[in-house]
Amino acid sequence: MPEIDIDELDRRRAAGAAVFDVRELDEYEEVRIPGAVLVPLATVPEAVEDFRAAAAGQAVCVVCAVGGRSGQAVGFLRACGVDAVNVAGGTKAWHESGRPVETGPEPA
C-alpha cells in the first residue's frame, strides 16, 4: 500500500491534494489537520465516489490517528480503483511536529 510521511503530506496539501480523515467525529473535533474532510471509516464504502472525484489528477491523502484505520481505507479505495495514499503516523505525528491543527466542530 502506498504510504507517505507528514513532510510529503505537507507538500501535497500545498499542491492542492485532498485530505480525508477516517477517524470518528469526536476524535476529529478534538484535533485535525486543517482542511481535512471527515469520512469515518465505516462510511468509506458509501463515499467512494467522493474520494474518486477528489482524486482527479492526484492521489487523495487518507489520515487517521496513527495510520491503522487510514491504511484499511486506502486498501479498500485502491481496490475500488481510487488513487489513494496512507499517511504514516497520522494526525498524531502531524500534531507532534508542531504543524498547525484545527479543533472543534467543522466550520459550516
| Residue 21 bridge partners (DSSP) | 38, 63
Residue 103 located in a structural domain? no
Residue 40 located in a structural domain? yes
pLDDT single digits (tens) 8-49: 999 999 999 999 999 999 999 999 999 999 999 999 999 999
Total structural domains within the chain: 1
pLDDT score, position 108: 64
pLDDT score, position 1: 86
Q: Is the pTM of this model over 0.85?
A: yes
Residue 101 located in a structural domain? no
pLDDT single digits (tens) 41-79: 999 999 999 999 999 889 999 999 999 999 999 999 999
Burial of residue 60, with CB atoms counted within 10 A of its CB: 0-12 exposed, 13-18 middle, 19 or more buried: buried
Nearest-Å Rg of the Cα atoms of the chain is: 12
Q: What is the CATH number of the domain that holds 29?
A: 3.40.250.10
